[in-house]
Structure 1
């Protein structure tokens, strides 16, 4: 379809200004088709993958339709449901950016694993709520969230919410909102349960379907490194020294981080230059000339500043900060591995939010992003020796004049052995850089107390939840409920055993009592459940053979990387 500008969509000056400040002028396909329909009050079914700009597609019309004065100014008018806390937080951040010049729009994110008291305080003035089904139901039951003034309900990634067992919660939530409302549903797939939802809760919905083009990233080796908070700079230092790319673009999300990283890298012996929106055109030209001519081997840039930049023979791209959308990820790493050549893409992540975000990117782009440990100084030294050895072998094989041969012959005449002469020469070569390198703990990788195949060996406890095979649940129902209520991530949830009337799940021993308390009354597959500490297994209640090793869903990512779902 022809390019459609945001300025042509009838948006308010405040929203247009925010969109422009975010660096966008043209709408994506899903935005161009959805926004006019939603502004007109139509119900919409959007079939679109993550990374197509769908959040803005439903957020912009929602912002435009909120009444910021009068009696409704402090009433919740828009409810957006997301499958995970990470997606809820991301959607709320996107809304905040789009509504930055509309101070009367007050979005609040509500999700499990966070203090509910703080959310209650914020809800008193909120007029837009973005949340997970479980926590939204908690607030409804506490009467801290009232939905009688809701005008628009959005179900984001509806298929994922159903896969996680939230169907009953969604149906119950929709019973609390007025019948006269706008209902918007976005889903990557349209299985029968989704179609049933639309038939029950939408009024003559308009289908918007975007066939996302498949991007080929086969020539790019994608790796990620999980590091402790506050150690990203040191990790980048070690990764660059170990892999030694000749030319690299490092992407950051803020101008401040670009400046900080340029200073750090130059202080540690690299040749780095920065590029961001505050620079004059003359400065940009100078920076790009330095980088393209090889006088600087590292370009640190923001997405906006790097638009339109085309560099030949780029060895690697680094995501120092993860992009907000998977499309940006593809645009970033697609700058390497061109013209039949191979390239590398490195992502450095800290904390479970960033790990989850990278998992979402891997799924959206159908990429396999492998996890690697941060190289140690010893490994860097060994890699450097291997590289120099190859250079020496190449020089030895070349038929060229040995200008230093007379010096070697002179040393032999003085009684020195050839092996000793070569060893001393190599020691002098390798001793040029005596820089002390940092050590970075290998987060999430095998080490003391960890096993690369068996997961975490740290102490675990077991909880028993009084729901099982009789309720037709699967392991992903339990994982979704526990993650939603407690904030635990997939790799912290261990072995799952499903019996006829109960399920037993391994969780970190340090959080055992806390998890039991937080799981009380949790609804799973529409049933309120009771959870207790599991201490013994009655003989008659042993699991069947096929339940002994109930696997967690592949889509949650493996410990060694993220593998996309097979379609």
Structure 2
């Protein structure tokens, strides 16, 4: 099925504006196949892996269809884990950025139930919940679903694996029969088909398959980088490896523009590429990149679609992609024609769950890499400079310069210095002092990240607060 552009959707300008702010231009396969039928009121059963853009697939038509003046729950989204509840809520809140009267409340175990009851008194139209905690609220009568219009079961197979079948039955039998039901599942087991047959009415069948898995010729790394240090780390990786041709992917057009401006200001031959550019501009940028005049191409996913340049040495995920399929497309830009390629992903402290989803989806081992040290960068730049100096010395004709230096060295104010001091001073003019400064990062979060629950272990929580700042340390 042909993909659709979000700008062509028959939805409100508020939603389109929110989607633009999120940096999305083109719908993913699951979004392209789900949004239309759901807006037409059809039930949907979709077999789609994690990370294929499911939240927007049901979130856009759901938010568009809800009466923003309603004072009761109109949409219920069931998720298997608290992490997915939080992730889904965050995505839906981005979609409702300009629909201020739409209220969303996450409901999950492990959080104080009284706090959730207080939030429910705001009369949300959308609830995102785990089955167990939702059942607690239903028994307390703190959640009423008598006016529900939309029922979404996300990662239904995982909910069954976790033993929520009875809860799901109870919940589905408690909501109004006249509703729209949407079910997403990575697999279609007998139990999933039984739920579909019992609770969905003439559903549209959607099946999304995984893209080609990443090729083994690409070495894949991730670095733990805070947002404020990403540009410095990008520059260091390019410098220490002396990459001549590389691609950097960002999730938004604004980020592409800002990063391009910053890299050019630092002296790199960089160009941006995104959907707001005229075709003539995009053609010029691509021609420059293919000819090697542009060393770094900074692009959004949609703008980079169809780019085929064989000698790209490295791909950088400045932002982790929202859609897991895009990760495969991005890193596939390097390692072409049986060459050895390399990719680097910059991961923030709150994005470790997304990195694990990428590894699970691609079945690839993405190795942890430390940020290059300042000394490494200084050494590389010094070696490059010394190679240039060597070429100048080999050409000769330096006598006049040597005489001038010798005369100055004889003067009283220079006598306490050596020729080595003079050479170092000349070198300092070419290599800024900032090169020698270390990048201060928070502790390696991946090393203390609990694999099963997706949160730090006790030792980390004891030593650092929720923002990763060491306890007892004064903030300025």
Q: TM-score range by the shorter chain?
A: 0.7 to 0.9
Report what 2:77 is aligned to: 80
* 1:339–1:429 CA distance, 2 compared to 1 (3 A): farther
Report what 1:317 is aligned to: 315
Structure 2 Cα separation of the partners of residues 435 and 445 of structure 1:
26
Report what 1:54 is aligned to: 54
* 1:309–1:152 CA distance, 2 compared to 1 (3 A): same
- Equivalent residue runs for 1:401-480 within 5 Å: 432-437=430-435, 438-441=437-440, 445=444, 479=452
Report what 1:377 is aligned to: 374
Structure 2 Cα separation of the partners of residues 24 and 254 of structure 1:
7
8 Å Cα contact 2:53-2:322 kept in structure 1: no
The alpha-carbon deviation at position 19 of structure 1 amounts to 9.5
Structure 2 Cα separation of the partners of residues 165 and 248 of structure 1:
47
Report what 2:346 is aligned to: 348
- Equivalent residue runs for 1:412-561 within 5 Å: 432-437=430-435, 438-441=437-440, 445=444, 479=452, 483=453, 489-490=454-455, 492-493=456-457, 507-508=458-459, 510=461
| Residue 88 (structure 2) pairs with residue 91 (structure 1) | yes
Unmatched 5+ residue regions in structure 2?
Answer: 403-419, 466-476
TM-score, normalising length: structure 1 = 0.63
* 1:230–1:142 CA distance, 2 compared to 1 (3 A): farther
Report what 1:365 is aligned to: 362
Counterpart of 1:221 in 2: which secondary structure?
Answer: strand
Counterpart of 1:230 in 2: which secondary structure?
Answer: helix
The alpha-carbon deviation at position 436 of structure 1 amounts to 2.9
Counterpart of 1:50 in 2: which secondary structure?
Answer: coil
Farther-moved stretch of structure 1 (329-338 vs 432-441): 432-441
Structure 2 Cα separation of the partners of residues 263 and 82 of structure 1:
41
Structure 2 Cα separation of the partners of residues 301 and 123 of structure 1:
44
Farther-moved stretch of structure 1 (129-138 vs 11-20): 11-20
The alpha-carbon deviation at position 348 of structure 1 amounts to 0.6
Per-residue Cα deviation, 1:246-291 (whole angstroms, up to 9, x for no partner): 1222222234433443344344443333344555566555544554
- Equivalent residue runs for 1:104-253 within 5 Å: 105-111=102-108, 117=115, 120-121=118-119, 124-137=122-135, 139-140=137-138, 143-167=141-165, 169-198=167-196, 201-203=199-201, 205-228=203-226, 230-253=228-251
* 1:29–1:357 CA distance, 2 compared to 1 (3 A): closer
Report what 1:545 is aligned to: none
The alpha-carbon deviation at position 182 of structure 1 amounts to 3.1
8 Å Cα contact 2:34-2:58 kept in structure 1: yes
Counterpart of 2:342 in 1: which secondary structure?
Answer: strand
* 1:27–1:274 CA distance, 2 compared to 1 (3 A): closer
TM-score, normalising length: structure 2 = 0.73
Unmatched 5+ residue regions in structure 1?
Answer: 396-401, 412-422, 447-451, 459-474, 484-488, 494-506, 515-567
Report what 1:466 is aligned to: none
Per-residue Cα deviation, 1:359-392 (whole angstroms, up to 9, x for no partner): 1122223332211111112334566689999x99
The alpha-carbon deviation at position 350 of structure 1 amounts to 1.2
Q: CA RMSD in A?
A: 4.6
| Residue 282 (structure 2) pairs with residue 300 (structure 1) | no
8 Å Cα contact 2:210-2:325 kept in structure 1: no
Structure 2 Cα separation of the partners of residues 202 and 306 of structure 1:
39
Report what 2:63 is aligned to: 63
The alpha-carbon deviation at position 201 of structure 1 amounts to 4.1
Structure 1 Cα separation of the partners of residues 274 and 25 of structure 2:
18
8 Å Cα contact 1:46-1:207 kept in structure 2: yes
Per-residue Cα deviation, 1:517-559 (whole angstroms, up to 9, x for no partner): xxxxxxxxxxxxxxxxxxxxxxxxxxxxxxxxxxxxxxxxxxx
Per-residue Cα deviation, 1:443-477 (whole angstroms, up to 9, x for no partner): 5649xxxxx9xx65x9xxxxxxxxxxxxxxxx99x
Per-residue Cα deviation, 1:339-367 (whole angstroms, up to 9, x for no partner): 2222221111111x311112112222333
Counterpart of 2:336 in 1: which secondary structure?
Answer: coil
Counterpart of 2:434 in 1: which secondary structure?
Answer: coil
